[in-house]
Structures are given as structure tokens and as C-alpha cells.
């Protein structure tokens, strides 16, 4: 009987989520801009992250898919219309060379958003994402036409 080869006991270096670290820095920056009264800081109240990524077990992944999680949805959404757009979808990547490739599903989502009236942007790195948000904040608010009144659903207004 052959002896079983033992695995090396050398610990692996922890995986660093460069994209996540930079995205957290972007949100902290936006909060600071809000505190300083900068125009771009107004987005702090209306930006949100779509947590589609990450490692999950098969059951959780299947449950989330049944609940509406979609592959490729952009990382950040600004829920405010500017420059004639309805809002902003920002696919955030870490600063090169630490960035991940843009998946086909992510490019397809940006295209879907663009075709439906949303400003859709790929931001590579913290500084590029800041520049995107500053430019978007510099545009005039999108004026929406008269809207239909929803007659169904529960009244959340009180």
C-alpha cells in the first residue's frame, strides 16, 4: 500500500476582493461629498448596490434566482433621472490591473438599460467611477411628463 501524500500545510493568502474594497471606498466618498454639500453627494441617498455576486451554496443560489436575481445586473443604480435619462446603471470594476473581465451578461444588461432609457456606464476603478458620478450630477434633472395614477396595490402613503 502506497502512503497517502500529504498536502502542503502552507496557508493560502486570503483572497482580496479588490472590487468590493474600491466600491466601499466609492460609497464612503459619496457620503463625504454629501456631508460637504457637494452636488454629487445628493446621490448618496438614492444610490444602491445590487448584491448579485458572491459565493453561495446551490440552494441559496436557486432560491435567489426564483426570487428574481438576474445574472449581469449592474453593481450600482442611481435612482435619479438626469440629462434626459431615467436613472444610472453603473457596472463597477476594480482599478486595472486588479479588475475582473466584464462578463457578457454584464454587457448585455448595460445594453438593456441603455435601450430602456437609462444611462448605462462601465466604470473601471474608483477614480473613473467618481468622474462618472460627478458628470451625471452636473446634468439637469430629467423632467418627467404627466404620469398615470396606479389604482392597484396597497396605499403606502398613509
Domain that holds residue 120: 18-53+70-138
110 domain-assigned:
yes
Residue 93 lies in a domain: yes
Which one, of 76, 158, 67, lies nearest residue 122 by Cα?
76
The CATH number of residue 120's host domain is 3.40.1350.10
28: in domain:
yes
Contact 30, 45 (CB under 8 A): no
Do the domain assignments include residue 123? yes
The helix/strand/coil state of 109 is helix
- The conformation of residue 116, written as its DSSP 8-state character, comes to T
CA-wise closest residue to 53 among 6, 79, 19: 19
More reliable by pLDDT, 85 or 54: 85
91-149 tens-digit pLDDT: 999 998 988 899 999 999 999 999 999 999 999 999 999 999 999 999 999 998 899 99
Q: What angle do CA 72, 78, 81 make, to 5 degrees?
A: 120
Structural domains counted in the chain: 1
pTM for this entry: 0.86
Residue 84 has pLDDT above 90, yes or no: yes
Amino acid at each position: 500500500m502506497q502512503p497517502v501524500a500529504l498536502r502542503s500545510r502552507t496557508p493560502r493568502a486570503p483572497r482580496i476582493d479588490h472590487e468590493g474594497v474600491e466600491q466601499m471606498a466609492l460609497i464612503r466618498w459619496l457620503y463625504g461629498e454629501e456631508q460637504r454639500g457637494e452636488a454629487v453627494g445628493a446621490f448618496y441617498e438614492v444610490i444602491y448596490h445590487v448584491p448579485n455576486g458572491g459565493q453561495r451554496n446551490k440552494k441559496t443560489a436557486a432560491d435567489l434566482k426564483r426570487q428574481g436575481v438576474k445574472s449581469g445586473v449592474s453593481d450600482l443604480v442611481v435612482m435619479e433621472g438626469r440629462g434626459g435619462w431615467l436613472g444610472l446603471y453603473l457596472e463597477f470594476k476594480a482599478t486595472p490591473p486588479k479588475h475582473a473581465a466584464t462578463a457578457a451578461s454584464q454587457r448585455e444588461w448595460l445594453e438593456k438599460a441603455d435601450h430602456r432609457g437609462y444611462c448605462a456606464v462601465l466604470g473601471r476603478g474608483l477614480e473613473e467611477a467618481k468622474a462618472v458620478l460627478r458628470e451625471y450630477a452636473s446634468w439637469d434633472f430629467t423632467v418627467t411628463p404627466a404620469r398615470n395614477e396606479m389604482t392597484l396595490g396597497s396605499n403606502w402613503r398613509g
